[in-house]
Structure 1
């Protein structure tokens, strides 16, 4: 540790956000460009280099956080980049999208604000590209083995890079017209600019990874042909089977899934569309679901010029501080968090209630009502207690001509003709692809990584599983492996 008293000298200072009135007028990232670099060395000094770094355990990648904090505090960016990339293929993704369970496990967080680990990570990643510290790493020799990876989200890309660097010939199949999975069309540009993704894809291509976009397994290439072309297959199709809301009025025009809405806005940003066919411009929007996808819809609707936006959450309003009984350190606590999108909507008064609050907690959706033409006009809500039981007589109505369902995802698509169905892998009762501790499915040579096998999870878990599944595939093909395997398929986050 460069400064043994750093955590006493310096308060926690986070990456500053651009002014609300400025950032809602564009699709650029919400944070001030380059702002972490002047303050990040001081923030890295706050790391205590504790004897038992629980941040390692809280992070599924096992990031060497105290090591690269120390290197950043000494301004040794090259060495910091090497230590960070030793465990994480895509730190610019996690530094922007991960909710930072590592910070919840920071020892300093026992009685002080945690080290800004996520900001330090993002700063290192950005410095890597600015200083040209991320050159392609092609393999020294080829093994003669071929691997097909289905899906190009973070799990698929991590597996592809690891296996390519190990010398295998890797082909990534992506059903969309561009690679990236949810990083491309699910995550709004104001949350992560797409040039971060493009740079990594260019790096993967330069290393030898091949991409086949607009290619859906089961439609454009059959499962038998896929398996005959490759010595192993990795299913990394994500969890795209969304949860439904079976209440009266669900069939009304204007009630749609969040993942039907967000990709259209992303395509506008990509230049594919002039205006989204589901644009929120001038409309009263209600988002059902209190998670990250709902927040992404919120920020998108604000930028599209919605008349009002309200996010409905069935959960009670969380506390502002960790509940040591329910969520003891170092577990990830349930606390009230305000994302940039929430800050925008509330600062600009986009909510429909008298306080102009854009978030409603402890609210259950009872039904939708519409006009004679079958278009949605209102959302009928009931209030629930802490056990989600209805409170009699506590109902309200929100005006709505666009309703977005952001209720999470069950697992991968398993319909007839899907990759999961065509490959004949077993599907578990919870909707995920069944696998053993080494990511192998019931079909020989077919492995599964990421949300398709774990269920809906975090980007950091997807990358960790992609790396671990790559090690399993390499061992299957070569008899042994030197690739790292940070997690097993049965590992989970720290729990009380």
Structure 2
């Protein structure tokens, strides 16, 4: 695959990022537009490695290793290298409903398990994937494809995030009449309101939704199941119901002062920001609130959501931004207990931290830090966070955080954002249908079957597996569509 000696001749060269200071002036994507000739050269680095771990989609040490949707990566790398871009698109479309999303926001576990990565920086698989689909849209290769024959079966898909959209896309191609219900005012779920514009422009989401609409999928926004329409009504109106509602219940931090004003969950900050921004762009509103402007912002929690809070706060014009992480700083290189092809748990600087460093002179993250108290001002708003350092100690086989004595300090903060992950799905539909849940409060449905405790109700994505990656959501959306189709028709041709 690729050029036999390509990995020896060409160094890894990802698509360039825009200058951090310049991109902070707008809400456009952080990357430059792909240079297709350079991307073609990067495809040459793909080795004829015999056993391509990049597309295996395994789970090792509870992390993805390789592509969970089993993209045929060596094949499309080779096609790109040979200039056969249209064939590369067709190959990519066999396994991935939405490569324009994964090519931008997936953390690329495929690259973490790239065989070349054992000795050299891995192939730029994620960039190649994005470039293939971007060129396909540019060239007009992406066209609506309506199902050849309709079955007359009606399926309701609840939730329009990546799991719901991929399930709807597959079920529609199988010929079923699919209606997607979304409680927000725009389709996309996590893709629309959970991921900021600088990582995923919303025109890209809308473009794909419009294509699905042309293919026959019906979308209904501003409709919350369990409130606007009862869950049981769906069971009466549809032949099957697929729940892809996500894991949207945020993890809280119940310490002293939590009731103070301007302490918000991350999504209470990110979602309104994107909505207002797009209301203004679409001339539905003139209001755009820069909540973090001139404030010292403290973000508690790491991960992608924490990074998005950093980047958004900087674009608001915050006075400063600090990000607190309770875990230790990752090593620069793989640790001995984190061998290839596991996901490399190494130190990375994402776009938000890079922008903060450009403005403030240093990475905003502080590691091994725990918060003990929020301090308020005379108006009942937060003005500071009391923190201390911790060390992780092993007690009877369990690692617990232990305070480092004498490390107490106070960080000024007029806005605190909690980005500590999510606990599971919200309860409205679960309680109304009396769905069985697992120990983590996720809807109980066996992977590969996706059937819940209620007849003709399926569950997939984060609602079933807990907070996870976009590629796992697409994996489950495609898989639940296959099993739903089998339930409706007795057999299935869906992959």
Bin for the TM-score computed over the shorter chain: over 0.9
Counterpart residue number, 2:29 = 29
Counterpart residue number, 1:491 = none
Q: Deviations over 1:182-222 (max 9, x none)?
A: 11111100011111101110111011000010011111111
Q: Distance in 1 between matches of 2:343 and 2:144?
A: 35
Are residues 1:241 and 2:249 paired?
A: yes
Structure 1 stretches of 5 or more lacking a match? 350-354, 485-496
Are residues 1:431 and 2:441 paired?
A: yes
Counterpart residue number, 1:472 = 483
Q: Deviations over 1:221-279 (max 9, x none)?
A: 11121111111000000010000001111110011110100011101220255445561
Counterpart residue number, 1:43 = 42
- 1:482 pairs, out of 473, 483, 493, with 493
Deviation, 1:52, is 0.7
- 2:457 pairs, out of 446, 456, 478, with 446
Counterpart residue number, 2:195 = 187
Q: Distance in 2 between matches of 1:230 and 1:173?
A: 13
Counterpart residue number, 1:196 = 204
Deviation, 1:356, is 4.7
Are residues 1:362 and 2:368 paired?
A: yes
Counterpart residue number, 1:493 = none
Report the 3-state secondary structure (helix = DSSP H, G, I; strand = E; otherwise coil) of the residue aligned with 1:379: strand
Report the 3-state secondary structure (helix = DSSP H, G, I; strand = E; otherwise coil) of the residue aligned with 2:70: coil
Counterpart residue number, 1:102 = 110
Q: Distance in 1 between matches of 2:6 and 2:410?
A: 52
Cα pair 1:2 1:70 within 8 Å, conserved: yes
Q: Distance in 2 between matches of 1:275 and 1:318?
A: 40
Cα pair 1:159 1:470 within 8 Å, conserved: yes
Are residues 1:394 and 2:407 paired?
A: yes
Report the 3-state secondary structure (helix = DSSP H, G, I; strand = E; otherwise coil) of the residue aligned with 1:315: coil
Are residues 1:348 and 2:348 paired?
A: no
Deviation, 1:364, is 0.7
Alignment of 1:288-303 (within 5 A): 288-303=300-315
Cα pair 2:375 2:385 within 8 Å, conserved: yes
Q: Distance in 2 between matches of 1:68 and 1:228?
A: 44
Counterpart residue number, 1:333 = 344
- 1:421 pairs, out of 414, 431, 443, with 431
Cα pair 1:267 1:273 within 8 Å, conserved: no
Counterpart residue number, 1:321 = 333
Q: Distance in 1 between matches of 2:20 and 2:414?
A: 25
Q: Distance in 2 between matches of 1:402 and 1:3?
A: 52
Report the 3-state secondary structure (helix = DSSP H, G, I; strand = E; otherwise coil) of the residue aligned with 1:394: coil
Compared CA separation, residues 52 and 389, structure 1 to 2 (3 A):
same
The TM-score with structure 1 as length reference comes to 0.94
Q: Distance in 2 between matches of 1:103 and 1:202?
A: 31
Alignment of 1:99-138 (within 5 A): 99-138=107-146
Q: How many residue pairs are counted as aligned between the two chains? A: 474
Are residues 1:373 and 2:384 paired?
A: no
Cα pair 2:338 2:345 within 8 Å, conserved: yes
Compared CA separation, residues 474 and 130, structure 1 to 2 (3 A):
same
Counterpart residue number, 1:280 = 292
Q: Deviations over 1:392-440 (max 9, x none)?
A: 11122110000000000011101xxx22222221122202111123111
Deviation, 1:134, is 1.1
Q: Cα RMSD between the aligned structures? A: 1.2
Cα pair 1:189 1:269 within 8 Å, conserved: no
Counterpart residue number, 1:153 = 161
Answer with 420-429 or 147-156: which moved more: 420-429
Counterpart residue number, 1:9 = 9
Counterpart residue number, 1:488 = none
Q: Deviations over 1:267-310 (max 9, x none)?
A: 12202554455610111100000111000000000001101111
Cα pair 2:354 2:363 within 8 Å, conserved: no
Report the 3-state secondary structure (helix = DSSP H, G, I; strand = E; otherwise coil) of the residue aligned with 2:404: strand
Alignment of 1:227-266 (within 5 A): 227-266=235-274
Counterpart residue number, 1:170 = 178
Cα pair 2:461 2:473 within 8 Å, conserved: yes
